[in-house]
Structure 1
Amino acid sequence: MENVSTRRSGQALLVWGLLVVAANLRASLTGVGPLLDQVQADLGLVPAVAGLLNTLPLLTFAALSPLVPRLAARWGAERLLGGALMVLTLGIALRWVPVAAGLFTGTVLIGAGIAVGNVLLPSLIKRDFPTRVGMLTSAYATVMGGVAAVASGVAVPISEVAPGGWYTALGCWVLFALVAVLLWLPQMRAPRRAVQAVRGHRLPWGSGLAWAVTAFMGLQSLGFYVVVTWLPRFLQDNGTSAATAGWLLFLFQAVAVLTSLAVPGVMRRAGDQRVLAAICSAVMFLGYLGLLVAPGAAPLWSVVLGLGGGACLVLALAFIGLRAQDANVAGALSAMAQSIGYLLAAAGPVVFGLLHTVSAGWRVPIVVMCAAAAGQTIVALAAGGGTVRPATGEVPDRVPAPR
């Protein structure tokens, strides 16, 4: 009886640890956009250099994600994640230093810490909670998105009232990161598991299903970062005030968080996720199409994009665990999907902005986003079912596949 109670307590502590880690995976990123004008003016940065504050973390995700399985095999997933949280904490603390070197160095370190968390969380959930992948993925995506939305909403108010202004608004999240480090310490001290979540490091480049999951991850990430970067500007060009545009961006993220809560229940009732993923991707298409043909109703389309985007994020993260045969494959698939996916996401806002400049309007870039959403709808039909198996020569973990 005592062993059962101890095991349950350990699992509860692990779940809380995972959720607090998830809460730190976006907040330090989404708070930058609302403060970018202040940062640029105070440090004398040209627009292209200031834009790197949004692009550098995504490029860091793409560069480091393929390395995470190898590092986890060497040090253990729990210890590696703990080290990543410490790097993340250091990066946020460096942002509190009001100089350009601290800001950009901190941004790279933040990207490195988040990259490890992005890859490891799906594989840890697959390993320790193989029959609850959908529910826990939704939980951590909801926490991640909810805190990110709050961070974008409170960034400017904090900068206006706190000593230090914008750099306090960016650096104050170090307290949240320290809480995550403290909650994760018991996992770092625990003995290494007999079965490591990501002990292999062969990424499934030869699997068509793995490429479908990767494409779905990349396209939904591209959509999210394009909307977060450019929706306020689009709204302002169509007559919305800057303050209202900021709140509509918050609305987009808030609706996405609420939508993510409903996904697990639908997933449990479905044999696979093909139809669900295709419908949610089609909702994204509808949102972009609405911006194209009826820009005056942009607040409505912000809600529509949030409805589709929140569901697609949860599905993209859940596919990593649901499509993988075991936790080892989940780690490799996570590294592949997130490296390519975030590389695509990093290019998205840049290409969207370039098309806006070249075409002197919003029609061409929004047509491109309609095409991306249509492609995501097609890819969803492949990514929503099937199993990615270990690469040749790898031994699968003995973990039951989730239904």
Structure 2
Amino acid sequence: MLVLAGILLAAFNLRTAVTSLTPLLDVLGAEFGFGPAVAGVLGMVPTAAFAVAGVGTPRLAHRLGLERTAVLAMALAAAGLLWRSLAGGTGGLLGGSAGALAGLGIGNVILPPLVKRYFPERIGSLSSLYITVLQLGTILPALRAVPIADAAGWRVSMGVWTLLAVVAMLPWLGVLRIERRAGSALAQMHDRAVLPGDEAPELAAPPPRGKVSRTALGWGLALMFGMTSLVTYAMFTWLPKLLVEAGASPAYGGTMLALYSTLGLAGALSIPALAARLRNPLPLALLCAACHLAAFAGLLWAPMAAPVLWAVLLGLGPSTFPLALTLVNLRTRTPGGSAALSGFMQGVGYGLSCLGPLLFGLLHEYSHGWGLPFAFLTLCVGVMLCGAWLACRPGMLEDRW
């Protein structure tokens, strides 16, 4: 139960630093005097931090072990969230966000192998459970950010999530303490899962990525994953502001952001099973693209005519994210191939997606409207479909090396 609590509490924290900030961008911009460009940079930090963490975490976990790395991840998250809530200027906001998101990026990488280590017989059910909790941790900050800020100030609104990150450290500290007792059930479970001399076998270094970079499948998945993340984080950053400019209240903008986040759960729970049944799951990607384009049109031309509908369509569009993660295993024969493909996809994909919130904000500032930013996102959806066409074709990575 202690391990399960650690996994679920860590999962809840993996997006709090993102969605507790974006509903308050107007308030923070007025407080510190920054405009859309800086807001775009703040929206770019999550994907940049996740990309860097994805590269560095495997080596860190081998050096420290998965459990100590989990403690470090939550400690970084707590420190960054606290720093951000005490910021005296834009630099403090950026620095605190970077620190918190570095911790959460480490958490992104280590949670799946922790599930595999301690619950090898229940990987499917435990993965669904922690993804559900992750979604709740995405939704709740978006819903509560503005009401808490109105009642107690923006510093309290952003700082309250520090407490949850600290709480998420406690189960892992307990696990480390119990594992020191040689006869404990937890220690025996750990010993059965760990190979002699290897602190974290699940995070073994992948085969050279050069072979993946020479395959259409690798680049297809990277483009599909990257463009999906780009659009998602651009909307995380700018959806509340867009609705506020259209006449909604900041609280309503936060509610629509929460609804947008909630719909991600539908894709996470349904798309993997559907993809596994289809020889070529490209129709799923086409459906996601149609949802995105319909939402863009509605938000651009009639944002307050049916904002709930636009948020629902916008939330269904990123279902290509779980599709990409599923294809990593559907298009590989071996764990080594899966690791190589996943590493290349996430490294390149998150690197590409960093530009989304920043470019969206710069285009809005340049054009003084939303037409040019949404034209940019439409182009990104087109690139995503090109990647999906390459990634969804039947065939295995090992056959293409």
* TM-score greater than 0.5 by the shorter chain: yes
Match of 1:232 in 2: 240
- Secondary structure class of the residue paired with 1:108: helix
Deviation of 1:78 after TM superposition, in Å, equals 3.6
Match of 1:182 in 2: 170
Match of 2:50 in 1: 61
Matches of 1:301 and 1:375, distance apart in 2: 22
1:23 and 1:143 in contact (8 A); partners too: yes
% identical equivalent positions: 36
Deviation of 1:334 after TM superposition, in Å, equals 3.9
2:345 to 337, 340, 343: 337
1:21 to 4, 10, 22: 10
Change (3 A) 1:47 1:293: closer
Matches of 1:125 and 1:390, distance apart in 2: 30
Change (3 A) 1:203 1:314: same
1:19 and 1:140 in contact (8 A); partners too: yes
Deviates more, 1:126-135 or 1:209-218: 126-135
In structure 2, the gaps of 5 or more residues are 180-189
Deviates more, 1:196-205 or 1:314-323: 314-323
1:197 to 190, 193, 202: 202
1:300 to 309, 315, 320: 309
Change (3 A) 1:236 1:46: closer
Report the residue type matching 1:93 in the other structure: L
1:122 and 1:331 in contact (8 A); partners too: no
Matches of 2:337 and 2:70, distance apart in 1: 18
Let me know the Cα RMSD of the aligned residues: 3.4
Match of 1:71 in 2: 60
Matches of 1:339 and 1:278, distance apart in 2: 24
Taking the TM superposition and a 5 Å limit, the aligned residue runs for 1:349-360 are: 349-360=357-368
- Secondary structure class of the residue paired with 2:211: coil
- TM-score normalised by structure 2 residue count: 0.79
Matches of 1:103 and 1:62, distance apart in 2: 20
Deviation of 1:26 after TM superposition, in Å, equals 0.4
Change (3 A) 1:217 1:142: farther
1:120 and 1:331 in contact (8 A); partners too: no
CA deviation vs aligned residue, 1:87-146 (integer Å, no higher than 9, x gap): 222222333434346544322211211121223334555677678766554443332222
Match of 2:108 in 1: 118
- TM-score normalised by structure 1 residue count: 0.79
Matches of 1:206 and 1:92, distance apart in 2: 39
Matches of 1:380 and 1:94, distance apart in 2: 40
Taking the TM superposition and a 5 Å limit, the aligned residue runs for 1:39-118 are: 39-43=28-32, 48-49=37-38, 51-100=40-89, 103-118=93-108
Deviation of 1:181 after TM superposition, in Å, equals 1.5
Change (3 A) 1:34 1:293: closer
Matches of 1:273 and 1:320, distance apart in 2: 13
Matches of 1:84 and 1:286, distance apart in 2: 38
Deviation of 1:154 after TM superposition, in Å, equals 0.5
Change (3 A) 1:110 1:255: same
CA deviation vs aligned residue, 1:209-234 (integer Å, no higher than 9, x gap): 23322222211111111112222333
Change (3 A) 1:202 1:259: closer
Match of 1:210 in 2: 218
Deviates more, 1:299-308 or 1:25-34: 299-308
Change (3 A) 1:42 1:203: farther
Matches of 1:24 and 1:357, distance apart in 2: 32
Taking the TM superposition and a 5 Å limit, the aligned residue runs for 1:304-315 are: 304-309=313-318, 311-315=319-323
Matches of 1:136 and 1:375, distance apart in 2: 33
Match of 1:154 in 2: 144
Report the residue type matching 2:139 in the other structure: A
Q: Does 1:284 align with 2:292?
A: yes
Report the residue type matching 1:54 in the other structure: G
Deviates more, 1:370-379 or 1:267-276: 267-276
Match of 2:156 in 1: 168
CA deviation vs aligned residue, 1:189-240 (integer Å, no higher than 9, x gap): 4457117111115552432223322222211111111112222333344444
Q: Does 1:346 align with 2:354?
A: yes
Report the residue type matching 2:161 in the other structure: W
2:135 to 130, 133, 145: 145
Matches of 2:173 and 2:332, distance apart in 1: 28
- Secondary structure class of the residue paired with 2:194: coil
Change (3 A) 1:321 1:74: farther
Match of 1:266 in 2: 274
In structure 1, the gaps of 5 or more residues are 1-11, 393-403
Deviation of 1:327 after TM superposition, in Å, equals 4.9
Matches of 1:79 and 1:16, distance apart in 2: 16
Change (3 A) 1:143 1:319: farther
Deviates more, 1:141-150 or 1:48-57: 48-57
Matches of 2:113 and 2:338, distance apart in 1: 5
- How many residue pairs match? The answer is 378
Matches of 1:281 and 1:292, distance apart in 2: 16
Change (3 A) 1:313 1:13: farther
2:113 and 2:202 in contact (8 A); partners too: yes
- Secondary structure class of the residue paired with 1:99: coil
Match of 1:362 in 2: 370
Change (3 A) 1:352 1:93: closer
Deviation of 1:270 after TM superposition, in Å, equals 4.2
Deviation of 1:374 after TM superposition, in Å, equals 2.7
1:142 and 1:258 in contact (8 A); partners too: no
Match of 2:186 in 1: none
Matches of 2:36 and 2:301, distance apart in 1: 30
Deviation of 1:46 after TM superposition, in Å, equals 6.2
